Amino acid sequence: MNGRGRQFEEAGVTPLEVRGVTKAFRPSRMRFGSNDGARRGPHTAVDNVSFRVAPGEIYGVIGANGSGKSTLIRILSTLLLPDRGEVRIFGHDVLRDPQSVRPLLNRVSADPSFFRAMSAMENLLFFGRAYGLTGAEARQHSLAILRRLHLGERHSRQPMLHLSRGQQQKVAVARAFLSIPRLMLLDEPTTGLDPRSKRDVQGFVAEVRRQDGVTILLTTHDMDEAELMCDRIGFLSGGRLVAEGTPLELRTQVAAGRPLDQVDMETVFMALTGRSVEEDEDEDEANEHHEEDHDEGDSSRMEGARR
């Protein structure tokens, strides 16, 4: 951990503290030609979730599509107000003081959304300036990060729509780290990437964490990725955090005398949540109407795009 990470640790400031957060969505009442809204009740996307993330830690939130991961990320990103509970980022209340929180955090989503006609550099210039960098600083930092992600200056001049999915996601990673955040929210950052791009992104994240002591919240349904990158993991199922611990602690919990190397994280997830990833995806289908109004967003959209 670098000086900045240690500084927070010594000061006793918790980068992220989530206490009893709950968010339910009600179906839209204004749907023409349908009375479904009257019949359906609210859908609880996040249900009384609490956890803390220590300075410089990578905390993984594992859950299937529709388990509440993206809703949780939106709440932490100051874009969604929970019904109940409290979120503090470096001591600042996310609900009452979002303006103090925003300079401290940034985010990578599964879907690398950009102004598609603009070049990668024009996009990065905009987001760099929005976080207070000068034009020259934004260009210089952008190129440095893109180079570390094996993208050249040539790529930075191309319109985003001419870049491959993997290249776009690398630009999304550059956008997020350009502002030198203290807390990074990585919402399924490697979903849909080819193996090489996935390794590049994972390597970059690990390197930044090691060098700058950035605290990271990583949501994923990729068990290998979670185990590879995370110090601690929480399992989110049906909007509830049902288990939490280091990968070793979680394996030990379900090993029941078996050697730990024979207990993979998929087995741990099934044992502790009582369901598999496929079951949760089925539930997504059942909750389709809620997803239309307030979808879990990025993951399902990426699935759609791949189809």
Partner 1 sequence: MTTAEIVLRRPPRRLALGWAFVERQTNLWKRHWAWELVWLVYGVVNTLAITFIAKEAANTGAVTSTTELPRLTLFLLIGTLVWAYMSAVLDDMSLVIMWERWEGTIEHTLMTPVPRVVHLLGMSVFGVLHGLIRTSLILACSLPFFSVDLGHADWPVAAAVIAVGSISLVGLGILSGILPLLYPERGEQMSFMVQALVLLVSGVYYAVNVLPGWLQAVSHFSPATYLLRGIRDAIINGDGLSHEAGNLAILALFGVLMVPGALAAFAVAERWAKKTGRLKRQG
Based on the shown chain and the rule CB under 8 A, indicate whether residue 144 belongs to the binding site for partner 1: no
Residue 25's DSSP bridge partners are 43
* Secondary structure of residue 30 in the 3-state scheme: coil
Based on the shown chain and the rule CB under 8 A, indicate whether residue 131 belongs to the binding site for partner 1: yes
Based on the shown chain and the rule CB under 8 A, indicate whether residue 129 belongs to the binding site for partner 1: yes
* Secondary structure of residue 50 in the 3-state scheme: strand
* Secondary structure of residue 53 in the 3-state scheme: strand
Number of residues that bind partner 1 (CB under 8 A): 44
Based on the shown chain and the rule CB under 8 A, indicate whether residue 136 belongs to the binding site for partner 1: no
Place of tokens 């502002």: 179
Of residues 137 and 153, the one with the C-beta less far from partner 1 = 137
The single-letter DSSP state of residue 61 is E
Determine the interface stretch with partner 1 among 51-59, 120-128, 216-224, 257-265 (rule: CB under 8 A): 120-128
Binding mask 165-204 for partner 1 (x = CB under 8 A): ----------x---xxxx----------------------
Closest CA to 67 of 215, 272, 224: 272
Based on the shown chain and the rule CB under 8 A, indicate whether residue 79 belongs to the binding site for partner 1: yes
State the nearest-atom distance from the C-beta of 271 to partner 1, in Å.
Answer: 32
Place of tokens 């388990």: 67
Based on the shown chain and the rule CB under 8 A, indicate whether residue 122 belongs to the binding site for partner 1: yes
Question: Do 285 and 303 meet the contact criterion of CB atoms below 8 Å apart?
Answer: no
Please give the Cα distance from 206 to 159 (Å, whole number): 28
Q: Is 273 exposed, middle or buried (0-12, 13-18, 19+ CB in 10 A)?
A: buried
Of residues 91 and 103, the one with the C-beta less far from partner 1 = 103
Based on the shown chain and the rule CB under 8 A, indicate whether residue 77 belongs to the binding site for partner 1: yes
Q: CA 162, 163, 164: angle at the middle one, nearest 5? A: 125
Based on the shown chain and the rule CB under 8 A, indicate whether residue 283 belongs to the binding site for partner 1: no
Place of tokens 């709950």: 22
State the nearest-atom distance from the C-beta of 197 to partner 1, in Å.
Answer: 19
Binding mask 80-119 for partner 1 (x = CB under 8 A): xx-----------------x--xxxxxx-x-x-xxxxxx-
Phi, psi dihedral angles at 5 (to 5 degrees) = -60, -45
The site for partner 1 (CB under 8 A) is made up of 25, 71, 74, 77-81, 99, 102-107, 109, 111, 113-118, 122, 125-127, 129-133, 137, 159, 175, 179-182, 293-295, 297, 301
